[in-house]
Amino acid sequence: MKHLYYLLLAIILLPCHAANAQLITTSPTIVQRSSNPIVITFHADQGNKGLMGLTSSTPVYAHTGIIRKGSTKWEYAPQWLDNSAKYKLSYVSANTWQLTIPGINEYYGITNAVEVEKLAFVFRNANGSKEGKTAAGGDIFVNVVQDNEFELTLTSSAESEYITQARDITFTATTTSSADIDIYLNSTTSSPVASAKNATTLTKTIAINTPGTYNVIARATSGTKTATQTSTVTYLGQSTQTDYPGGIPQMGAKANSDGSVTFCLAAPDKSNVLIVGSWNEYDIATSQPMHYQDYNGNRYFWATISGLAADTDYPYYYLVDGQYKVGDPYANLVLDPWNDRYISPTVFPDMPPYPSDKVSDVPLAVYNSSINDYEWKIKNFKGVDQSALVIYELLIRDFNGTEGQSLGNGTIAGVMEKLDYLKELGVNAIELLPVMEFNGNNSWGYNPNFYFAPDKAYGTPDDYRKLVDAIHERGMAVILDVVFNQSDGLHPWYRMYDIDRNPFYNGTAPHSYSVLNDWNQDNQLVQQQFKDALIYWLTSYNVDGFRFDLVKGLGSNQSYNATYDQSTNTWSGVTEDKTNAYNASRVARMKELHDAMRTVKPDAYFINEDLAGAKEENEMSEDNETNWANINNASCQFAMGWQSGSNLNRFYAPLDNNRIWGSTVSYSESHDEERMAYKCEQWGNTGIKGNVAMTMRRLGSVAAMMLMSPGAHMIWQFQEFGADETTKNSDGSKRVFNNKC
């Protein structure tokens, strides 16, 4: 439904360092400028796992180029989706594919004059709909060593630098030329545990059977050249069974009366979790394993931390089974190692710095005892009846910013400056497109990763609260657009499991409108997360309600009559007809969410983007829920001056296939649709196309008929100006709009 394109992350895979469970391996182990051939082995079950589980008959291709010395730019890469034979990988075994490069010069069409520092890769299927990248969604790189350089690598058979059970681990040192090689344990001042003279490889298996940190050091000497590499393996202690204080686990961070804080992560089927935080300088070796409790069929890990100062930022993350570094799903603020550096201090002053000298490649949760403290000016706001809403749908990114330019640099501060204008416009509610922490800084927001944290690209948590307060001061309500059908790939529950065994996500969706990672709506923890998130935003940010994205995707898995393959966690036989059919589980699901909201704000607004049949939506309306009513096509036909399909009766719910009075939020434009003015310019009837004055009169007529029809209605930002930009880029993705406010 939403086509999401945002900044990709780039993480370098360095073969000169000790490596575990690599996304790609190479033969030779050290790639030199003159290596011939070079075999690239791609392990699809590592990294983001976007190509995991493909059959041997499914073509897999490499999009590959080179990175020059001192540059970060890809060069000598083919056009995207070039399916030439030279880029096709060979199937080796399940999730293992190989690409043979006969030589760097020959393969990439370059000469020795081009100084190559890295080979760059993204793996994909034939149409590019699936990609194999790093765990964080970045490009994959292989270092290229110059022929006259002496290089040493040290690899390990361990899947990770952390292990949770005693085991034998094999370490292999490899050099680019013959050398005297020694392998040491913990210190080079002791005797080596293995040695080889005039060799290019040395292998040693070491038994690790006592918890602690083991530093395996390889040193190689060739003539006057010496190289050293270290591989660290930490044998973690075991999590032990102890009930959560009070007996009922509560996810997230909970402050205790004695000043301590209890952190809790739900992690079914996991055996070991550590919490790693700034309170001990992120030292894993001294971090203690969390306790665990099995409760209501799920496993929760928890730990109580004492000595945390009030009003102080404490970033932290979880290390799960020694393999997965993840943030906290219930984090109220998230530090992003890839994108925070691009957020201006004027947008987020005094942002907690990401501790890149101690931590990498994981979003950090931030605990602060006062993060939700705010003195509200308007404490008991009461908006209009739900059936009388006139909503202004607003994307902060594009609503304001550099005047008249498509920079996507809108901020909360900019929205604040235009609130009087919106009040004068006559709207009584503002609907914000998703603001929960999303991937990258430039997004429509439909790619969330954390549901309890506002995205920092627009401002601070208190900026959001000030915005809500200021909107309420002007008598307008605040409605948040929320995305409960999918998440992006940095959500902790997505990263903690292989997708074929992930209890929180479907490998593929049972419905026909999936874009990103489809939530398993039947998982009780998933539903608890959503209910808790709604309550959190209603109470901690004082919002007045929600618009639920893609409600058609929120039904129970089996309700879509698709076929489930348990071995791959995927669904087949998915059709639009099945997805669009009446679905009682969607009605029940939305009522459950509504009931959770009623516990803290009984009159909160509840808007479904269901776009389903009248039977289903009327049943929802009986629970005092309203439903989006898309009148865009008829509105465009009317505005363009075409009689066919231009009936605007559906603005009034009872004339919309007998929907219940006041049960719809009808609109002529939304963020999903093309602008009426754009269509008038492209395909308007004689006297309308190319005639701005006539186009504006036609648009005014549509607006009058919509707003004068009884019931709730919605305006998409800049619709009031007769905005005439297309909402689509040439590739079908959503564009950044010119700022008009």
- Is the pLDDT confidence value at 650 over 50? yes
DSSP-assigned letter for residue 555:
S
* 26-35, 171-180, 464-473, 721-730: least confident range: 721-730
- Is the pLDDT confidence value at 732 over 70? no
| Confidence (pLDDT) at 713 | 98
* 565: phi then psi, degrees, rounded to nearest 5: -110, 105
CA atoms lying within 13 Å on the CB side of residue 249: 25
The pLDDT-based confidence of 49 (bands split at 50, 70, 90) is: confident
Beta strand 140-143 with 116-125 is: antiparallel
- CATH fold group of domain 252-367: Immunoglobulin-like (2.60.40)
pLDDT tens digits for range 133-173: 987 678 999 999 998 889 999 999 887 788 888 999 999 99
- Is the pLDDT confidence value at 408 over 80? no
- CA–CA distance, 116 with 105 (Å, rounded to integer): 10
- CB 356: neighbour CB atoms within 10 A? 10
- CA–CA distance, 189 with 182 (Å, rounded to integer): 12
Nearest 5°: the CA angle 473, 476, 481 is: 125
- CA–CA distance, 478 with 314 (Å, rounded to integer): 30
| pLDDT (average), residues 370-375 | 96
- CA–CA distance, 292 with 239 (Å, rounded to integer): 7
pLDDT tens digits for range 608-634: 999 999 999 999 999 999 999 999 999
* Mean pLDDT of the chain, nearest integer: 92
Span 161-170+177-235 CATH architecture = Sandwich (2.60)
| Confidence (pLDDT) at 687 | 95
b/e per residue, 320-345, with b = 16+ CB within 10 A?
bbbbbbbbbbbbbbbbbbbbbeebee
* 8-22, 112-126, 503-517, 614-628: least confident range: 8-22
- The answer to whether the beta carbons of residues 721 and 418 sit under 8 Å apart is no
Report domain 428-628's class: alpha beta
| Confidence (pLDDT) at 409 | 84
| pLDDT (average), residues 252-270 | 96
- Residue 457: left (phi > 0), alpha (psi -120 to 50), or beta? alpha
Amino acid of residue 468: V
pTM for this prediction: 0.85
| Confidence (pLDDT) at 1 | 39
| Confidence (pLDDT) at 18 | 38
Q: Is 572 exposed, middle or buried (0-12, 13-18, 19+ CB in 10 A)?
A: exposed
The pLDDT-based confidence of 50 (bands split at 50, 70, 90) is: confident
Beta strands in 641-710 (DSSP E): 664-667
C-alpha closest to that of 440 among 432, 448, 451: 448
Beta strand 116-125 with 131-132 is: antiparallel
Give Cα 556 to chain centroid, integer Å.
23
Beta strand 605-608 with 545-548 is: parallel
- The answer to whether the beta carbons of residues 15 and 24 sit under 8 Å apart is no
| Confidence (pLDDT) at 211 | 87
Identify the H or E element spanning 155.
strand 152-156
| Confidence (pLDDT) at 737 | 62
| pLDDT (average), residues 702-724 | 96
The pLDDT-based confidence of 401 (bands split at 50, 70, 90) is: confident
* 17-21, 122-126, 253-257, 737-741: least confident range: 17-21
Q: Which residues have C-beta within 8 Å of that of residue 416, sequence separation ≥ 6?
A: 466, 467, 470
| Confidence (pLDDT) at 366 | 98
| Confidence (pLDDT) at 17 | 35
The pLDDT-based confidence of 727 (bands split at 50, 70, 90) is: confident
682-689 contacts, C-beta under 8 A, 24 or more apart: 683/640, 684/639, 684/640, 684/641, 685/640, 685/641, 685/642, 686/641, 687/641, 688/639, 688/640, 688/641, 689/640
The pLDDT-based confidence of 6 (bands split at 50, 70, 90) is: very low
- The answer to whether the beta carbons of residues 104 and 110 sit under 8 Å apart is yes
* 179: phi then psi, degrees, rounded to nearest 5: -155, 165
Higher pLDDT, 237 or 459: 459
Amino acid of residue 736: V
- CB 20: neighbour CB atoms within 10 A? 18
Domain spans of the chain? 1-149, 161-170+177-235, 252-367, 428-628
Beta strand 429-432 with 390-394 is: parallel
- CA–CA distance, 727 with 741 (Å, rounded to integer): 17
Q: What percent of the chain has pLDDT over 70?
A: 95
Span 1-149 CATH architecture = Sandwich (2.60)
- Residue 259: left (phi > 0), alpha (psi -120 to 50), or beta? left
Q: What percent of the chain has pLDDT over 90?
A: 85
- Is the pLDDT confidence value at 469 over 70? yes
- Is the pLDDT confidence value at 728 over 90? no
The pLDDT-based confidence of 696 (bands split at 50, 70, 90) is: very high
**DSSP string covering 562-605:** -EEETTTTEEES--HHHHHS--HHHHHHHHHHHHHHHTT-TT-E
| Confidence (pLDDT) at 256 | 95
Q: Name the range with the highest mean pLDDT among 2-11, 46-55, 171-180.
A: 171-180
Q: Which residues have C-beta within 8 Å of that of residue 688, sequence separation ≥ 6?
A: 639, 640, 641, 680, 694, 695, 698
Q: Is 732 exposed, middle or buried (0-12, 13-18, 19+ CB in 10 A)?
A: exposed
Distance, first Cα to last Cα, the chain: 28
Amino acid of residue 4: L
Q: Is 440 exposed, middle or buried (0-12, 13-18, 19+ CB in 10 A)?
A: buried
- Is the pLDDT confidence value at 2 over 70? no
Q: Which residues have C-beta within 8 Å of that of residue 563, sequence separation ≥ 6?
A: 571, 572, 573
Determine what percent of the chain falls in helix, strand and coil, rounding each to the nearest 5.
Answer: 20, 30, 50
| Confidence (pLDDT) at 129 | 87
Q: Which residues have C-beta within 8 Å of that of residue 370, sequence separation ≥ 6?
A: 310, 311
CA atoms lying within 13 Å on the CB side of residue 66: 21
pLDDT tens digits for range 664-689: 999 999 999 999 999 999 999 999 99
- The answer to whether the beta carbons of residues 261 and 308 sit under 8 Å apart is yes
Adjacent-strand bridge partners of 97: 42, 91
The pLDDT-based confidence of 476 (bands split at 50, 70, 90) is: very high
Report the length, in residues, of the chain. 741
- The answer to whether the beta carbons of residues 193 and 207 sit under 8 Å apart is no
| Confidence (pLDDT) at 137 | 75
Amino acid of residue 100: T
SS3 for 141? strand
Q: Do domains 1-149 and 161-170+177-235 have the same CATH topology?
A: yes
